[in-house]
Structure 1
Amino acid sequence: MTGQLKVETGFVSLPEGACGPFLRVPPFPGCKVDSFLTAPAIDRADADDLVDVIRRMRVGGTYWAARPALPDRYVLLRSTGADLDDGSSKVVWTSRPVAAPRGSVMVTGDCDPWHMLAGATALFAETPDEVTLIATILGVPVHLKDPFSNAFEETTLDVASSLATVLGNTGFVNPFTGDPMSARETIELCGFWRALIDSNRDISGALGFAFWKRDNVAPLLWGGSPVRFADDADGSAGPVAIWRSKASEDVVAKLERSGTKLIEVEDGFLRSQGLGADCVPPLSITVDRLGAYFDPAQPSELESLLQDGLFTDELLERAQALRFAIVGAGLGKYEVGGAPLDRPAGSKCHILVPGQVEDDRSVLTGGCGLASNLELLKRVREQAPDAYILYKPHPDVVAGHRKGSISDKDCLEFADQVVMDQPISSLIEMVDEVHVNTSLAGFEALMRNKPVITHGVPFYAGWGLTRDLGPVPARRSAKRTLDELVAAALLQYPRYLDPLSGLPCPAEVVVRRLVDGIEGQDGVVVTMRRLQGKVMRRLREMVG
């Protein structure tokens, strides 16, 4: 702490150099950006408008740091020189262990200052710093030590002037674009990170995560301390994040018997320009405390958003802009689209049937007994005997990694054409209808305003946007617009990682990266996995 107290009209302001940058980038695992760069300072009028935003977002200082257990009400001492014998509970918070009053709670090291002040009835400190500033924002009385008498006196900090000092010293540049960013935008970005961090704080471990996914997943599950990836349940003290399809069934059963809360993690809907089966790490995941979003037997957080969520005009404008960007670029879950395709049968009704991995959990839980791609094709042909049906096998199946292959002979009994190498977004644009079991291709088709017929129960069925042939749960009673569906499924529900900065980011950033062909992946692992897939595919062809 440097500088003397500056008094203005009876208020104390933070002196220059009283603290480091007030708004900071959390140290997410793998983060390649450690600060916001210098930009023009703000003035006092701006600072007045920002106090409420900072209070609402609860950012500033080390807002990602530890949140130790504290009494309900207490006096917070940042100085051991404060001799208070008033019978109140006391919490001493210093950088290193010191002698503390008898009966007080001792806390050392970096902590979330907003948490430390949440139950404080007063703060005693040596000099003004970011903690005294946050206390004043929260309305906690601040007592500062007089440098001459060593007595502590209640002091009112000039919040606006102090904010202008600390925010003006910092300056802001968007870590994703490099463009100048306003103080309000910076606060809101920090608030976005804080909400993510707080949602992860109780996660005690992560099971079923392949080694090649962990670097991308860790920042999205980070709660201020390292993510504990493991292969076994080792007495976890809290909820466990689980990639269920890759976790040991015995371990899952053990956790369920113990009553451990399991948090379902899956790939997001804008994943990467490559396959998970090829070990291409995801740029997006979903994290659900209620259940898997694709399992209609139980609610999920995504279903709850669609059933009960409120969608502001601002959010719907973002959803529409994101939808236009995705469709305009031809983006799909695994690829970027190509040129428009000719219709092979002219004016005849063209139907696209996307294949799926037959032992995928979404098929097993949401397929409602429709367990094979061949059976799906048969049903579509029965419903549309005169249509021109195009069948596109799932890319993981084509790559040779997963179950669901159909011989051309069997496939062409019901389909008119098998399409292997055309992007699914281009196929969707060309056809008149899309028939799916639970495939995400149905959601991609909805974004392109194509009629979608669901034979299973995917997450987007039952909201008035699809023709549903499967048994949609009665609890899905809300009717949603397309942009409300997009807002829930792409903006609110998933988590995204920027491959350039290594920071959690909004969906729009990942869309921009995918369009530009920028994503992080281990080239050696991906190449070896693709070679393995070719060998497995060739072996299947040889045995029939």
Structure 2
Amino acid sequence: MPGPGPRRLYVYNGGLLARPMRARLRAAGYAVRSGLPGRHDLVGIWGASPTAQRGIAVAARRGAALVRIEDAFLRSVRPGRAGAPPLGLLIDHAGAHFDPARPSDLETLLATHPLDDTALLDRARDGISRMRGAGLTKYSGFDPDLEAPPPGYVLVVDQTAGDAAVRASRGDRNSFLEMLFEAREAHPGARILVKTHPETQQGFRAGHLRETDLGPNMQICDAPLSPWRLLEGAVAVHVFSSQMGFEAILAGHRPVVHGQPFYAGWGLTQDRAPVDRRQRRLTRAQLFAAAMILYPHWHDPHERRACSFETALDAFEAETRAWREDRAGWVASGMRLWKRRHIQKGFGTQRAVRFVDPPERAAALAEKQGRRLMVWGDRPAPEGAVRIEDGFLRSRGLGAALVPPASLGLDDLGLHYDPARESRMERLIAASPALPDAERRRARRLVEGLRAAGLSKYNLAGTELPPLPEGHRILVPGQVEDDAAIRLGAGAVRSNLALLQAVRAAHPEAVILYKPHPDVEAGLRPGAVAEPHLAADVVLIGVGAVEALEVADEVWTMTSGIGFEALLRERPVTCLGTPFYAGWGLTRDLGPPCPRRQARPDLWSLAHAALIGWPRYFDPVSGRPCPPELVLERLASGEIARRPGLRALARLQGVFASAAPLWRR
């Protein structure tokens, strides 16, 4: 009998022997081997691939059990034939999920598992909501900017010729022609839209249906449109055995199914070829729970280990967003030299980033090559440029000290700290009250994780708090006085000294705690107060933001990000300027009003916009796109890449920045 540890899995397929697949199988509990198995070993085959018969024959001769391996139902941004490894695997000891000839492990789950656990079904409903909201499907390399066809059509889903799932349901080209005919007969006056498979769109494999098969009011849809958007506009859906039938169920349809896929027979489909042994009636959440949470083996591509469905979904969403935003390529302008390596690693995964100055030349090159233009912060740039800024969960160390950011916010509308015009951040906050509950719960978990780990924007190692007087303590965070957030977002109070004086005038009996900005404290940026002890009761030299917030009863600020961090810790915040988090009913606002801000989000909705919706995150270890949850884990554990010896360079950078042309800053 096999002992403890990974089970030996003998394979005869080059793809399964390759390093990415071996790693995923190892994480799932299988040790890949070549050679001949013993009778207590396993033989792994890839679905119904041409090499599968080899493994079947070896297993029969050696008396070994057979295991069928397939891609999970969330696979990769681009098809496997484009070289992308799968996000998860379906490892079935009974059969193949797409083959109705015998029950698979998935079918047994659907038929016999209680599927009545409230927590499991809540996870399933959240998963459906998140996949729909982010447009995630098996292959998620879709163009979100493409216009969807006008609604009201009947959607007919084609598949690739020779597909194993089609053969298993005894399908062929005639089966798809019959499906097309039935769709026309059932809806004689409707438009018919034939959706091609992503591998057909990208030229890897042919489909079953052709232009010559179409009649009047029918058309092929081979554009890289998200299936979710196509399902939204459909009045009916016909599928043979495509995974898109499963997604149609999740989207609220009751699709007509002409084959016998795993999702048919459970009361959620109109079955033209019923599987008689499937008699149970399931809900959408139960179907999803079995197929997406209980059945697959998900793989964390960052930690290279087995993970939950939610962790895999987080990683997949980050990768998909990066692909969609970066696929056209970037021209970057106004980037300091030390930032370029990190910009290249984070945004150049599809096409290498071109760094060009001044911005006029950059804009011309972007237009010529069909790329997007990015500029840093408020640097001069043509209309339409995407501006990038540090995110609010940034690093362990200062940007002025050349510590690379783990998050960058992209804004194609404006600047989040400039209330004079709408920004992408502002638009996200305005829409956030309508967030699905799943997204609000995710934001809450992230914020609670930040609190528990004691994380802030820079996460500097601080000194101990000095003895503090008793009384009502007001934290006043200092700012860099020439920073764009002050220039564009401050009101009448525009200096650290004036801010301290305003707080003292409003609260003469309070204990005022002044925390200088880390860049100012390090001597890298302007904003020092000559004699801060004259305006504050205690000056918190070297004290971290989190430690300062823990002892504060409230916060007064011009536009500091510490005001946002105070909100995350549910401290009252008074704003004398108009930062991105002011004007939404969550702060006391004494600065210039922003009449556009009429929405009233709760804290978790605001946090979602600022920490999830707006920024892009980069693994501090590898530099690759990742979800915020991974950055939280990395910063909390201290597992980050370090670049020592840059302090002197940082000081020189600060000295020469003011003398350089704006496009070089």
TM exceeds 0.5?
yes
Aligned counterpart, 1:472: 593
1:457 aligns with 2:578: yes
Aligned counterpart, 1:346: 470
Distance in 2, matches of 1:188 and 1:285, equals 17
| 1:302-313 alignment, distance < 5 Å | 302-309=425-432, 310-313=434-437
Aligned counterpart, 1:128: none
Aligned counterpart, 1:197: 323
Q: Which moved more, 1:214-223 or 1:377-386?
A: 214-223
8 Å Cα contact 1:40-1:168 kept in structure 2:
no
Aligned counterpart, 2:618: 497
Aligned counterpart, 1:488: 609
Q: Which moved more, 1:180-189 or 1:300-309?
A: 180-189
How far does residue 369 in structure 1 lie from its aligned partner after superposition?
4.3
Aligned counterpart, 1:16: 49
Amino acid at match of 2:581: Y
Deviations 1:463-513 (A, max 9, x none): 222111101211111222222222221122211112234432221211111
1:316 is matched with which residue: 440, 447, 450? Answer: 440
8 Å Cα contact 1:173-1:180 kept in structure 2:
yes
1:520/1:37 Cα in 2 relative to 1: closer, same or farther (>3 Å)?
Answer: farther
How far does residue 335 in structure 1 lie from its aligned partner after superposition?
1.0
SS at match of 1:421: coil
| Structure 2 stretches lacking a partner, 5+ long | 1-12, 14-45, 52-68, 79-83, 98-104, 112-123, 150-157, 162-172, 174-195, 206-221, 228-240, 249-257, 264-289, 657-665
1:427 aligns with 2:548: yes
8 Å Cα contact 1:356-1:394 kept in structure 2:
yes
Deviations 1:134-161 (A, max 9, x none): 799899xxxxxxxxxxxxxxxx876549
Aligned counterpart, 1:227: 353
Q: May I ask how many residue pairs the two structures share in their alignment? A: 460
8 Å Cα contact 2:335-2:375 kept in structure 1:
yes
SS at match of 1:197: helix
| 1:55-94 alignment, distance < 5 Å | 57=135, 59-60=137-138, 63-64=140-141, 94=203
1:326 aligns with 2:450: yes
Aligned counterpart, 1:290: 413
1:443 is matched with which residue: 559, 564, 568? Answer: 564
Distance in 2, matches of 1:216 and 1:533, equals 17
SS at match of 1:453: strand
Deviations 1:337-359 (A, max 9, x none): 76984652123x22221111111
Amino acid at match of 1:235: L
How far does residue 515 in structure 1 lie from its aligned partner after superposition?
0.7
1:115 aligns with 2:219: no
Aligned counterpart, 1:395: 518
SS at match of 1:438: coil
Deviations 1:2-32 (A, max 9, x none): 9xxxxxxxxxx972259995765569xxxxx
Aligned counterpart, 1:272: 395
Aligned counterpart, 2:485: 362
8 Å Cα contact 1:53-1:187 kept in structure 2:
no
1:174 aligns with 2:300: yes
1:171/1:374 Cα in 2 relative to 1: closer, same or farther (>3 Å)?
Answer: same
- TM-score of the aligned structures, taking structure 1 as reference length: 0.69
| 1:157-168 alignment, distance < 5 Å | 160=262
SS at match of 1:396: helix
Distance in 2, matches of 1:175 and 1:517, equals 19
Deviations 1:286-311 (A, max 9, x none): 11111111111111122122222222
Aligned counterpart, 2:278: none
Aligned counterpart, 2:366: 236
Q: Identity of counterpart residues, as a percentage?
A: 33
SS at match of 1:376: helix
- TM-score of the aligned structures, taking structure 2 as reference length: 0.58
1:241/1:15 Cα in 2 relative to 1: closer, same or farther (>3 Å)?
Answer: same
8 Å Cα contact 1:21-1:169 kept in structure 2:
no
8 Å Cα contact 1:465-1:482 kept in structure 2:
yes
Distance in 2, matches of 1:54 and 1:476, equals 26
Distance in 2, matches of 1:230 and 1:496, equals 24
8 Å Cα contact 1:399-1:534 kept in structure 2:
no
8 Å Cα contact 1:77-1:92 kept in structure 2:
no
How far does residue 371 in structure 1 lie from its aligned partner after superposition?
2.8
Aligned counterpart, 1:108: none
8 Å Cα contact 2:333-2:357 kept in structure 1:
yes
Distance in 2, matches of 1:157 and 1:264, equals 49
Aligned counterpart, 2:22: none
SS at match of 2:505: helix
8 Å Cα contact 2:71-2:88 kept in structure 1:
no
How far does residue 244 in structure 1 lie from its aligned partner after superposition?
3.2
1:183/1:451 Cα in 2 relative to 1: closer, same or farther (>3 Å)?
Answer: closer
1:203/1:242 Cα in 2 relative to 1: closer, same or farther (>3 Å)?
Answer: farther
2:338 is matched with which residue: 207, 212, 222? Answer: 212
Q: Which moved more, 1:450-459 or 1:236-245?
A: 236-245
Deviations 1:147-201 (A, max 9, x none): xxxxxxxxx876549xx99x99995322244442466864674344223322344
CA RMSD between the two structures = 4.8
1:458/1:66 Cα in 2 relative to 1: closer, same or farther (>3 Å)?
Answer: closer
SS at match of 1:412: helix
Distance in 1, matches of 2:475 and 2:399, equals 23
Aligned counterpart, 1:375: 498
Distance in 2, matches of 1:14 and 1:59, equals 20
How far does residue 216 in structure 1 lie from its aligned partner after superposition?
3.4
1:529 aligns with 2:529: no
8 Å Cα contact 1:54-1:60 kept in structure 2:
no
How far does residue 535 in structure 1 lie from its aligned partner after superposition?
9.6
SS at match of 2:365: coil
Distance in 2, matches of 1:170 and 1:226, equals 34
1:367/1:175 Cα in 2 relative to 1: closer, same or farther (>3 Å)?
Answer: same
